[in-house]
Amino acid sequence: MKGSPIMKKPLRIKPVQWVLHIVLSLGAVVMVFPFLWTLSSSLKTPAQIFQIPPIWLPNPVQWENFIRTLEVMPFDAAYFNSFYITVVVVISQVFFCSLAAYAFAKFQFPGDKFLFLLVISMMMVPKQVIIVPQYLMLQQFGWVDTHWALIMPELLFKAFGIFLLRQFIMGIPRELEEAAIVDGAHPLRIWWSVIFPLIRPALAAFAIFAFKDMWNQFLEPLIYLNSPQLFTVPMLLNSFKGLYTADWALMMAGAVISILPILIVYVILQRQIIEGIALTGMKG
């Protein structure tokens, strides 16, 4: 390939950039180190885990720790619970929030300003403030220690979703909608075939944000769930902690099992996830 006309000039890196690369690499190592250390610890024998100086790469690798962990902790059920609860909630939130956002962005109706103000105000209410009264209410409904207590409060309304999606729908030119109206499409059809496709990037960003929120939920399952078979992944891991405090390898294996699937999805979709969360972060 030498001397080939297609070959690019070698990339020149300035000395300042070398320094920056070194600093940033060190920073990246610090950021990732806790994950790697958890992984390394999860593959050690009980003797190796307490060894000083520490063993960086366990040899032989104790894969049995994972088998042991999966035997004592029902991660399969927890993953199933987390997954179905999160998926149901996210799909429902995307549906109902985009519908409401469309109405707030493009329709005039008596009370629209007041209702939207109410939506915005709810963004200032931290979940922790309403969790106790919400618990007392759901207790009346008989939903304590059921998944309904996690699903129902999230199903129809997420203030931030309506706010974010409204911003995007307002950016859609009127003409696109009017063309569809002239063709005789009714509003539900316009929402589905004009609005929905046009705000797909915002919907994806919101869905990622909502997924992360729901998947990582901890206070709610902590308060509502008592039965281990109903536990979500964070809840299961937390209950694990009380039972196996001395067995660090087992706990680290549990942590790895709780993190790895999410990290794999993260690495595959990293651009969409980072930019989605950044976008939702900035609009909030």
CA distances from 94 to 84, 100, 102, 237, 270 (A): 15, 10, 12, 29, 21
Contact call for residues 143 and 170 (beta carbons, < 8 A): no
CB of 223 to another protein, least distance (A): 7
- State the Cα angle at 189 between 166 and 184, rounded to 5°: 120
Q: Which is nearer to another protein, 33 or 84 (CB)?
A: 33
CB of 254 to another protein, least distance (A): 7
Q: What tokens does 155 get?
A: 């199903």
CB of 114 to another protein, least distance (A): 11
Q: Which is nearer to another protein, 38 or 146 (CB)?
A: 38
CB of 146 to another protein, least distance (A): 15
CB of 164 to another protein, least distance (A): 13
Q: Which is nearer to another protein, 2 or 278 (CB)?
A: 278
Contact call for residues 150 and 85 (beta carbons, < 8 A): yes
